[in-house]
């Protein structure tokens, strides 16, 4: 009996430790985000206060100002939001279409130079995007697509395709090839077999690839800050810069815009989270 | 009409040949089993008939029509895969009806066809489940149901029972045979299991290294194997083989025993010819524990090394002329290892194979 009791106690103790470790880790991840949300609702004095004020007061001033006129600290939030949305959605859609086709080809077909091509794609990911900003700037300026949605979409598609290929390749690889063979025998063309059988089965994988691509485009700052400059094309991360002046930074306003930026990403992730988890664990098995 | 004809069919993978120009005529409604060890080209052959592998050379006809260049969907075939290949995102009902839906058959007809197939295979209870919620045997049945629904000219089975446990395998084997009796379509069935081949086939096609070694009914292959490969592949336990040299009317086995030349090889062997002397366990039986059909009998005293009691019979492992051989004991009594028994060998049921070519020597 005693030994059982001791064993049970030890198990309980371990479980408590487990929770504590989890709590600490989650805090490290979440507190900066939480701080941004809190700061967006408190007056500037409180944000700048030293030592920090732990019990926040509540004001909507920053939001009011942000949506206000240009003279009162307002920024064209809706334009930025629209730009971000257009650029992210379109680039994600294109990246998924190209990436999925690529991933499928890598998973299903044998062709000359396949593995070196694949490695090449991954190497491309190793190039830091910012390093490309100057060449891109010059080329885009010459071609005349600087400061346009199109230019930014092009960059994000290029940025996202390799990762999408890598991710979807893993998913399609896990689908036994007999599935599309069965579909072809059942009367499908190769194309139908893909859309009616393989695509629905790999849907979670494609969904998680899409989320990643969307978040990359939605949050990307370095390249967008170089390639956009007018209200007509600036995305939200670039818009944050509007709150910096030569000598001051409007932290409250910046946090308020950041919250607006986080919200759609959060909602989207929440909607597809079921797919995302299924997708990530499914793809995770791949070595 | 759904006869299948293969003429000189070849498959290359790169430069290596997987199938070496095989020819085969399969009659309408026939149940043909392609059997052989792994890598013998049986699955490749089936996949070429299905249209899942390109045919490198030769011709495949289904129902008189050359199908070499037709995609699988235009060959009017159904296939049951080893891993079932059920569509995981569809229910059993959707799986069964998929081919008809693709063919744009109207809803009522689909329901009718699906319900009929489900009735044949006892799937009615499972119609709304997803494949993941089914057991192995149920999945296998759904895969067969999906094949039936299409009413194809030819059914193709690619090792459909290898993922099932032994008991279920026996059960499904019977169901497949019943299914064939019921629908009467041509069936081409691939397996590496000779028991499946023997029990199911109208005709067995035994393959080795991309060649057809022998084609015939199960009993033809069992009773008159063309070479030692067929003799040892078909039948359980496999045929016993002992090396020997022909000496007039007898064969001197390497271990010192001498046996008469069996009737079917008499006059076809020469003095001094090196041979394999072969016989099945069923033809070597302890005195008083066998069925003898007349003909020459050799009596041998052999020590028992090991016994495998199976109930109605016991397989005895013994040593004959320095080679381990298996014998069968009907109406068995307990036998201890080490015991020496008097065995009777039915000489005229024995086989002689040429040692150089491994081919059978018989009339």
pLDDT tens by residue, B132-165: 889 888 999 999 999 999 889 999 999 999 888 8
Q: How far is the C-alpha of A179 from the C-alpha of A224, rounded, in Å?
A: 42
Q: Which residues of A fall within a CB distance of 8 Å from B50?
A: 181, 185
Q: Quick one: tokens of B203? A: 């005709």
Sign of the torsion formed by the C-alpha atoms of A142, A144, A149 and A153: negative
Which of residues A271 and A143 earns the better pLDDT score? A143
Which DSSP state fits B154? E
**Do the chains contact at A184 and B99, CB–CB below 8 Å?**
no
Residue of B43, B52, B77, B104 to mutate, interface with A, max A Cβ within 10 Å: B52
Q: Quick one: tokens of B228? A: 């030692």
pLDDT of residue A247: 82
**Residue A116: burial class (beta carbons within 10 Å; 0-12, 13-18, 19+):** exposed
CATH fourth-level superfamily of B240-354: Nucleic acid-binding proteins (2.40.50.140)
Whole-number Cα distances in Å, A147 to A95, A136, A161, A243:
21, 12, 22, 20
Q: Quick one: tokens of A83? A: 């730009």
Q: Closest partner residue to A182 among B51, B71, B81, by Cβ?
A: B81
Whole-number Cα distances in Å, B326 to B218, B232, B244, B317:
21, 12, 18, 5
Q: How far is the C-alpha of B54 from the C-alpha of B86, rounded, in Å?
A: 24
Q: How far is the C-alpha of B190 from the C-alpha of B33, rounded, in Å?
A: 6
Q: Which residues of B fall within a CB distance of 8 Å from A206?
A: none
Closest Cα in chain B, distance from residue A187 (Å): 4
Closest Cα in chain B, distance from residue A115 (Å): 19
Least trusted range by pLDDT, from A265-279, B72-86, B252-266: A265-279
- Return phi, psi of residue A42, to 5°: -120, 155
pLDDT-based confidence at A133, cuts 50/70/90? confident
For chain A, state the CA radius of gyration.
24
Q: How far is the C-alpha of A223 from the C-alpha of B30, rounded, in Å?
A: 68
pLDDT of residue A277: 65
Closest by CA to A190, choosing from A179, A201, A200, A204, is A179
Neighbour order of strands in the sheet with B284-286: B284-286, B340-346, B297-309, B313-320, B323-330
Give the other-Cβ count within 10 Å of A257's Cβ. Answer: 25
**pLDDT for residue A286 is more than 50:** no
In this prediction, residues B261-288 reach a mean pLDDT of 91
**pLDDT for residue B211 is more than 60:** yes
CATH fourth-level superfamily of B4-233: P-loop containing nucleotide triphosphate hydrolases (3.40.50.300)
Is B356 strand, coil or helix? Answer: coil
Q: How far is the C-alpha of B268 from the C-alpha of B247, rounded, in Å?
A: 13
Q: Quick one: tokens of A53? A: 């004020």
- Return phi, psi of residue B8, to 5°: 50, 45
pLDDT-based confidence at A71, cuts 50/70/90? low
Which DSSP state fits B227? B
pLDDT-based confidence at A265, cuts 50/70/90? confident
Closest by CA to B100, choosing from B89, B116, B119, B88, is B116
Which helix (H) or strand (E) segment holds residue A236: the answer is helix A236-239
Q: Quick one: tokens of B179? A: 């299914």
In this prediction, residues B276-298 reach a mean pLDDT of 88
Structural domains of chain A sorted by starting position, each given as residue range(s) with its CATH number in brackets: 2-67 (no CATH), 70-284 (1.10.3720.10)
Bridge pairing between strands B340-346 and B284-286 = antiparallel
The ranges assigned to domains in chain B are: 4-233, 240-354
């Amino acid at each position: 009996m005693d030994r059982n009791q001791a064993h049970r106690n030890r198990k309980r103790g371990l479980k408590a430790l487990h929770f504590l470790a989890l709590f600490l880790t989650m805090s490290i991840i979440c507190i900066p985000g939480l701080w941004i949300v809190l700061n967006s609702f408190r007056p500037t004095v409180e944000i700048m206060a030293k030592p920090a004020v732990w019990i926040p007061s509540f004001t909507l001033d920053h939001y009011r100002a942000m949506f206000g006129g240009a003279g009162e600290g307002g920024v064209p939030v809706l334009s930025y939001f629209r730009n971000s949305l257009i650029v992210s959605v379109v680039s994600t859609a294109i990246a998924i279409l190209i990436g999925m086709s690529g991933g499928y080809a890598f998973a299903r077909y044998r062709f000359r130079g396949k593995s070196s091509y694949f490695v090449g794609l991954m190497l491309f990911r190793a190039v830091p995007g910012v390093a490309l900003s100057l060449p891109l700037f010059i080329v885009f300026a010459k071609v005349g697509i600087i400061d346009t949605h199109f230019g930014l979409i092009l960059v994000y598609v290029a940025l996202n395709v390799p990762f999408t290929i890598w991710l979807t390749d893993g998913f399609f690889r896990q689908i036994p090839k007999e599935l599309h063979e069965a579909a072809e025998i059942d009367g499908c063309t190769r194309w139908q077999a893909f859309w009616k059988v393989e695509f629905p089965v790999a849907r979670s994988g494609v969904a998680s690839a899409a989320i990643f691509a969307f978040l990359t485009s939605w949050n990307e700052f370095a390249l967008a800050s170089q390639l956009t400059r007018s209200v007509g094309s600036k995305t939200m991360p670039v818009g944050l810069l509007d709150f910096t002046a030569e000598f001051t930074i409007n932290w409250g306003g910046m946090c308020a815009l950041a919250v607006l930026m986080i919200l759609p990403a959060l909602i989207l992730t929440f909607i597809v989270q079921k797919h995302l988890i299924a997708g990530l664990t499914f793809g995770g098995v791949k070595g | 009409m759904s006869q299948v004809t293969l003429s000189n069919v070849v498959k290359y993978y790169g430069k290596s040949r997987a199938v070496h120009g095989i020819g085969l005529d399969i009659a309408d409604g026939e149940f043909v089993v392609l059997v052989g060890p792994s890598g013998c080209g049986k699955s490749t052959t089936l996949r070429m008939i299905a249209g899942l592998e390109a045919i490198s050379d030769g011709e495949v006809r289904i129902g008189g029509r050359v199908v070499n260049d037709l995609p699988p969907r235009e060959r009017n075939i159904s296939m049951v895969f080893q891993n079932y290949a059920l569509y995981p995102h569809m229910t059993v009902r959707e799986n069964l009806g998929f081919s008809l839906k693709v063919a744009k058959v109207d809803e009522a007809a689909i329901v009718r066809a699906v319900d009929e197939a489900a009735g044949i295979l006892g799937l009615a209870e499972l119609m709304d489940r997803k494949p993941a919620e089914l057991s192995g045997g149920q999945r296998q049945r759904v895969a067969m149901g999906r094949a039936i629904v299409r009413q194809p000219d030819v059914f193709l089975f690619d090792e459909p029972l290898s993922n099932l446990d032994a008991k279920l395998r026996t059960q499904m084997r019977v169901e497949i045979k019943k299914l064939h009796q019921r629908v009467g379509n041509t069936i081409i069935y691939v397996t590496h299991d000779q028991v499946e081949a023997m029990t199911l086939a109208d005709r067995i096609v035994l393959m080795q290294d991309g060649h057809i070694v022998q084609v015939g009914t199960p009993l033809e292959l069992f009773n008159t194997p063309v070479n030692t490969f067929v003799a040892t592949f078909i039948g359980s336990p496999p045929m016993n083989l002992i090396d020997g040299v022909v000496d007039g009317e007898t064969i001197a086995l390497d271990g010192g025993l001498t046996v008469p030349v069996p009737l079917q090889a008499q006059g076809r062997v020469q003095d001094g010819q090196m041979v394999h002397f072969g016989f099945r366990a069923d033809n070597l039986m302890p005195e008083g524990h066998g069925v003898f059909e007349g003909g020459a009998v050799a009596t041998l005293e052999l020590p028992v090394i090991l016994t495998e009691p199976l109930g109605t019979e016991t397989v005895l492992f013994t040593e004959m002329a320095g080679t381990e051989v298996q014998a069968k004991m009907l109406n068995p009594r307990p036998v201890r290892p080490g015991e020496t028994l008097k065995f009777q060998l039915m000489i005229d049921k024995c086989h002689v194979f040429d040692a150089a070519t491994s081919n059978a020597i018989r009339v």
